[in-house]
Structure 1
């Protein structure tokens, strides 16, 4: 079995690397790179003209990275003309071809300021590389078809999801998720369930920001993943309808519709999406505890229905003032059933002494409503003010029934204990923030402030079930209320130093006040925990751009990772009678110190080296209670240090073949703080590859996949190699308004995980996975006006350089 798994993973890596073999290019050509203040400009028409009479000798076009190569030219005198909708036509100086290629280097296009409405039909690359972030354009990859928001993260470059659904970027956990540039209000399982309500059709792109500036909240030791939802910018009335079907082990269906009506003064938009299906999961865990082996095997099926809706409007009062309003909601309905079989074998006997069978059934409802009011002022002198006010309410209801049947070694019944657990949760969030920026001191100064308060109310009711009747067990029931207030202010300064250097410095101040209060019949030191702490978070960046081929950047930041609300909740959540989960109200936040040096070649090939040190790293560990019970809890277990070498390589092999490669090699050390925790040192290599092919008759093919060598999850689990290989094909009809997509995910079923861990006197060997191997069919129809409105304002050159240094 292990040999077969290695063969499959090796095949995944071989296919991904084989598809990147390059071919030689011709000679006697003109090449160059076309950019604007916003970066590379794709699909620019390049006309090579004879200098004598201005007749056209050859014609070319820039690729998705702004690069052009026009071949087949003879010796002579020429000049080039560049044409692109939205930019002024531009001619080069006359140049000579004399038996060798000519490199025109970088050409800067100027925007056409008089443009108001144009017909736009551009294709963004699947992956965009920026000095401060990587952008995964979801709508441009057909392999995203049928995926939800959480599964899409598995396809994002450099992102790994561990066995506890933690997000890992560049070898580090502790990522803060944003939705439309705002921190997600949820965490833990609540956040995962919310992301599963989002469909790929709802998402425009995913930004992976490893070095955020001081404008962002300091939360997220490993950085930020910002999920940007779609907003149509076309004038008139238009929309998109999508329907999909997937089959793996079970059937799945999804659909979505988005509508947009835009005029010069008003934009109104709305969308709705849903998904339905049955999802299979499995997990095997063998635990050796005090001379007894507990071998558990779990299989579960969850029936889910997810709904997501939003409606909003933007009122463009004039060129300076914009007012917006947004309301959104999502609903997640789950019904699950699963069986956990645990064989209990004393080591000195060697045969099964007892067997515990837990047939779990449960229902769960999650729903969230949120509202936002926003205002923006911007003038032509560089003054900009934005104000946001948000309110959100989240509720979860769960009802789980758990019978525990004990059998002896012969299969005869010994006894039975049956339980029911009700666990409603309510969360309310209020936040307000203001950001102001203006040109000052030869650069741009940004200041801002934010206030937020979150209250989460968790009730846990434990019932003993006798002869079909439920009896409340008051000793095992409780209520936990957690309130957290964060007040923040920041300042950020960015300026251009001479012509080749750019500087950005920022400082953020955050004050955190929290109270956790447990009400139960069992009093303990966990009943009331109050905390107040004040932190400064510096950040900064320096870039050096000697020419268009090279750009160097140095970034640093201090970040914080606060425990999620469920991790702080001290009540017990039973899995089986021998295993349960328990929060830790005394968890300390983890502080991360990050530094990164990167080099970008021709705005596309990026190499980086980063170092991160995290104090009070916390992770989910399995501890023991008595001789036979084990429980999951979260503890501050170690100080973590990680060195990562990253390489990003987007390039075109042929006009019809584009490739993106992302390679990361990291070395992580976890230095134990707890006596039960073992110090771990682990090197890890990961690979993500995406190949896009433009084929005959309008077909588009994508081959993509990821691979991870043995690594560390949560500071405790040592994992085996794993990976995935995906393939998809697309064909468009009706003047590109109708798209048919067929996609296969995890074709060789190599994404299930295997891991082992030791904590104190307990050792574990585990494996698990979900229904990741699927085939998906999708139809998307775009209707309405395709006339796009020109940008309301233009970014300055300083704004672009600010972005490159990780600024605002």
Structure 2
């Protein structure tokens, strides 16, 4: 079955060729209006006094086909002279028609085209064609196929849309494999995502957040099967309708849905040398009710990492050199299971409910060998075997209601409850130089994130070319984090270290928000979308050791303006918005994580939010078979939340990483990409990202002295992709990219690369396929070289990743389906509001601090 996106795009393209121009709201997905705008072909047609009416229904269910396209064609010339769209009851009216002989074409996605010949009109006649029955046609839909990928990338007034459902190499993979290929995005080898160099982004799934994503974006992406992703929306300039959080922008992952009647079951599987997966997704729909059930499991294994670390620190006149090497492996099990239900209360009212459960079990093991040199004098070496557990279980439950009054006029109410139980522990065995066990350590960190959200939205058109939207939202959020650091000898029970770190963080964060936005489209294809949003955050935070933190409440007014103009195949876009970035739990969590005692992480519960102003100017143009886009952007951030490192004043040679509101960060750059349809079945693309970053702020060193920090530099990355479709169901695809070093406040993080190729063969029945994909197969390992420094320390860290891989994939579809006219489903809650840890490369041997972010 072809994706609904391609079917709808194809039908609308056909209708646009057969009907006069209609008033639309570009970029908003609104329904076409039934009257032609002044100056269109509809107004230039001769006017008469004849009238034509009728209604369109589904031949199998005797239900109205809402918004079916109707085109009236002059029988002599073969040209379209008028057209309209049926209303929600399937009825249509064409008036002021000239007498003559015509044919009428009725079309809608999922149905065979209906041509009515010998429509004869006389002056003053009111001709009623009665009921016109459309029959569903799977065959017709399969024949109307866009074989080229001109729509691989779509641009709207506030976002870029990447159509991912044709990806061959992603079969058997996860969402990380898809996002690596989306222009504007960068995904490192650990799965951490950034947009235009900023990791302060929100990731949504089907327009709504999840605590699965909140705890770790990188881990959440591993739970989403790649072949279930339909599109990825990169919202670089979010409108007022979206939460104010996410200074870099929003990524919205849309999974595949359908409006099929009957029973359907999809089986997807893959096996490789570094991972395997199995996915079962089923749906059943009969009449007004629909059910979906699905499960996805992915196992990761044979993931090997080697590290080398050289770091020098100076504390109280003593210089300590640390030399460390590590060998590690990791294994993981990821799963996501969902149950959904939707019911049409009436023709214009829909109720949707769903429950989703996500599970993550990541187990890592690392052997560290450390040697210290004090003022040039070598000390004894030590060994450390560390086992890390990163476990989570997440539940999301939603109930949503949508009432559609007429095209583009709708009201929705959405609710969402989420809970995430997260465990991040480590056990360490301490060994001397000869390998004898001398002691043991434990860090226990248990976190619980809970929240409830209530949201309502209303939109309505004003005249033919204007739309107004407004709504309100409330979020009640609570985060609990308990942590303990324990010690033991070679044998015996674990006990709390005297003056050791233990305690709890209790963090209440409630948000009240309201917004309004306005969209205006002119007949000369100018589009303006402006809005204003206000959010007030109420915080009550305390720790067991320090009591109430006294962070205080704060409010923020968030304006947004987006404008676009299309002329002669060229689209210009201009955007401005202000964003707020609240700290996430990994920044707040005061757990003292010493999985690697030479690289320690600890959160800062007193962090304040950061505020960002974003500007962008974009231009895109289609030149024959080539689509080109270039965007120039600027970003200014106050109170930027950044990782800050300094030598420990208690542990010799150790570097402590924490988070601070350092001051200001400026980023300026450009994103450029081009897509060439070499033939209708071969596409080639190339993209380049270049931006300049400047970070400036104040921090306090280990001696308690305030110092100024500044770092600047360029970040460069780029890549290319190619895909081809051959006869007999064969297809091939290749992709590769390189990312240069990333500027940080105290140095640079090393760059990385990735490439993959794949081949797929569809079965003759089109119900299944087999494929093979390989990645990074030309080299045994990849080195990420990171250099960090300040007046008090210098660190060189090499991480060697062994990620050569190959996998076989198999997919099969079971069930006989019929197409039903698609209906709008109730909208879901869309929390996109807290900051992740930034996705930086973890220090050698260290695991990230316990906890996840408090809900997005």
- TM-score tier, shorter chain, comes to 0.7 to 0.9
What is the deviation of 1:663?
1.9
2:34 corresponding residue in structure 1: none
1:275 corresponds to 2:261: no
Alpha carbons of structure 1 residues 147 and 769: separation in structure 2 relative to 1, 3 Å: farther
Q: Structure 1: how far apart are the matches of 2:306 and 2:287?
A: 53
2:678 corresponding residue in structure 1: 653
Q: Among 311, 327, 339, which residue is 1:287 paired with?
A: 311
Q: Among 277, 300, 314, which residue is 1:254 paired with?
A: 277
Q: Among 606, 617, 622, which residue is 1:586 paired with?
A: 606
1:173 corresponding residue in structure 2: 199
Q: Do the aligned partners of 1:281 and 1:769 also contact (CA within 8 Å) in 2?
A: yes
1:759 corresponds to 2:759: no
1:372 corresponds to 2:398: yes
Q: Give deviations 1:385-428, integer Å, cap 9, x for gaps.
A: 11110101111234421123344xxx697x93421122111111
Alpha carbons of structure 1 residues 685 and 41: separation in structure 2 relative to 1, 3 Å: farther
Alpha carbons of structure 1 residues 561 and 164: separation in structure 2 relative to 1, 3 Å: farther
1:643 corresponding residue in structure 2: 668
Q: Do the aligned partners of 1:529 and 1:585 also contact (CA within 8 Å) in 2?
A: no
What is the deviation of 1:643?
1.5
What is the deviation of 1:179?
1.6
Alpha carbons of structure 1 residues 735 and 312: separation in structure 2 relative to 1, 3 Å: same
Q: Structure 2: how far apart are the matches of 1:109 and 1:606?
A: 34
What is the deviation of 1:258?
0.5
Q: Do the aligned partners of 1:665 and 1:683 also contact (CA within 8 Å) in 2?
A: yes
Q: Do the aligned partners of 2:455 and 2:472 also contact (CA within 8 Å) in 1?
A: yes
What is the deviation of 1:43?
8.9
1:357 corresponding residue in structure 2: 383
Q: Among 553, 577, 582, which residue is 1:557 paired with?
A: 577
What is the deviation of 1:705?
1.1
1:342 corresponds to 2:373: no
Q: Give deviations 1:90-110, integer Å, cap 9, x for gaps.
A: 989999xxxxxxxx9xx9998
What is the deviation of 1:602?
3.4
Q: Among 759, 766, 771, which residue is 1:729 paired with?
A: 759
Q: Structure 2: how far apart are the matches of 1:285 and 1:123?
A: 52
Q: Among 598, 601, 623, which residue is 2:646 paired with?
A: 623
Q: Provide the aligned length of Structure 1 versus Structure 2.
A: 699
Alpha carbons of structure 1 residues 683 and 755: separation in structure 2 relative to 1, 3 Å: same
Q: Structure 1: how far apart are the matches of 2:426 and 2:824?
A: 54
1:573 corresponds to 2:599: no
1:673 corresponds to 2:675: no
Q: Among 107, 110, 116, which residue is 1:112 paired with?
A: 107
Q: Among 689, 693, 717, which residue is 1:686 paired with?
A: 717
Q: Structure 2: how far apart are the matches of 1:37 and 1:438?
A: 27
2:806 corresponding residue in structure 1: 775
1:311 corresponding residue in structure 2: 339
Equivalent positions of 1:368-517 (< 5 A) are 368-380=394-406, 382-407=408-433, 416-440=438-462, 443-466=466-489, 467-473=491-497, 475=499, 476-517=501-542
Alpha carbons of structure 1 residues 769 and 204: separation in structure 2 relative to 1, 3 Å: farther
Q: Give deviations 1:359-394, integer Å, cap 9, x for gaps.
A: 012334310111000000112254211111010111
2:775 corresponding residue in structure 1: 745
Alpha carbons of structure 1 residues 90 and 546: separation in structure 2 relative to 1, 3 Å: farther
Q: Structure 2: how far apart are the matches of 1:286 and 1:753?
A: 14
Q: Structure 2: how far apart are the matches of 1:530 and 1:244?
A: 49
SS in 2 for 1:389: strand
Equivalent positions of 1:11-30 (< 5 A) are none
What is the deviation of 1:623?
1.8
Alpha carbons of structure 1 residues 774 and 580: separation in structure 2 relative to 1, 3 Å: same
1:18 corresponding residue in structure 2: none
SS in 2 for 1:531: coil
Alpha carbons of structure 1 residues 163 and 693: separation in structure 2 relative to 1, 3 Å: closer
RMSD of equivalent CA atoms: 3.3
Q: Structure 1: how far apart are the matches of 2:493 and 2:383?
A: 21
SS in 2 for 1:325: strand
What is the deviation of 1:496?
1.4
What is the deviation of 1:180?
1.4
1:698 corresponding residue in structure 2: 729
TM-score (norm 2): 0.76
Q: Do the aligned partners of 2:452 and 2:477 also contact (CA within 8 Å) in 1?
A: yes
Q: Among 530, 535, 538, which residue is 2:559 paired with?
A: 538
Q: Structure 2: how far apart are the matches of 1:93 and 1:756?
A: 74
What is the deviation of 1:444?
0.9
| Higher deviation after alignment, 285-294 or 725-734 | 285-294
Q: Give deviations 1:416-461, integer Å, cap 9, x for gaps.
A: 3421122111111111101100123661110011111211111112
Structure 1 runs of 4+ with >6 Å offset: 35-48, 85-95, 107-111
| Higher deviation after alignment, 149-158 or 560-569 | 149-158
What is the deviation of 1:37?
14
Alpha carbons of structure 1 residues 427 and 148: separation in structure 2 relative to 1, 3 Å: same
| Higher deviation after alignment, 569-578 or 385-394 | 569-578
Alpha carbons of structure 1 residues 144 and 227: separation in structure 2 relative to 1, 3 Å: same
What is the deviation of 1:728?
0.5
1:321 corresponds to 2:349: yes
SS in 2 for 1:353: strand
Q: Give deviations 1:735-790, integer Å, cap 9, x for gaps.
A: 21111111112233475422211134111112225443210111011122353323
2:703 corresponding residue in structure 1: none
Alpha carbons of structure 1 residues 789 and 770: separation in structure 2 relative to 1, 3 Å: farther
Alpha carbons of structure 1 residues 154 and 500: separation in structure 2 relative to 1, 3 Å: closer
Q: Structure 2: how far apart are the matches of 1:206 and 1:38?
A: 17
Q: Structure 1: how far apart are the matches of 2:407 and 2:162?
A: 33
What is the deviation of 1:538?
0.2
Q: Structure 2: how far apart are the matches of 1:235 and 1:699?
A: 30
What is the deviation of 1:635?
1.6
Alpha carbons of structure 1 residues 344 and 460: separation in structure 2 relative to 1, 3 Å: same
What is the deviation of 1:685?
2.3
SS in 2 for 1:777: strand
Could you list the runs of 5+ residues in structure 2 that have no partner in the other structure?
19-66, 86-105, 112-133, 700-705, 826-856
What is the deviation of 1:241?
0.2
Alpha carbons of structure 1 residues 341 and 44: separation in structure 2 relative to 1, 3 Å: farther
Q: Among 187, 202, 219, which residue is 2:245 paired with?
A: 219
| Higher deviation after alignment, 642-651 or 192-201 | 192-201
SS in 1 for 2:260: coil
What is the deviation of 1:173?
2.6
Alpha carbons of structure 1 residues 38 and 489: separation in structure 2 relative to 1, 3 Å: farther
Q: Do the aligned partners of 1:171 and 1:644 also contact (CA within 8 Å) in 2?
A: no
Q: Structure 1: how far apart are the matches of 2:365 and 2:342?
A: 45
SS in 2 for 1:192: helix
What is the deviation of 1:311?
0.6
Q: Give deviations 1:45-101, integer Å, cap 9, x for gaps.
A: 9999xxxxxxxxxxxxxxxxxxxxxxxxxxxxxxxxxxxx98667989999xxxxxx
What is the deviation of 1:527?
5.3
Alpha carbons of structure 1 residues 685 and 89: separation in structure 2 relative to 1, 3 Å: farther
What is the deviation of 1:260?
0.9
Q: Among 821, 825, 832, which residue is 1:790 paired with?
A: 821
Q: Give deviations 1:504-539, integer Å, cap 9, x for gaps.
A: 11001001112221114xxx4x75343200000000
Alpha carbons of structure 1 residues 561 and 747: separation in structure 2 relative to 1, 3 Å: farther
1:614 corresponding residue in structure 2: 637
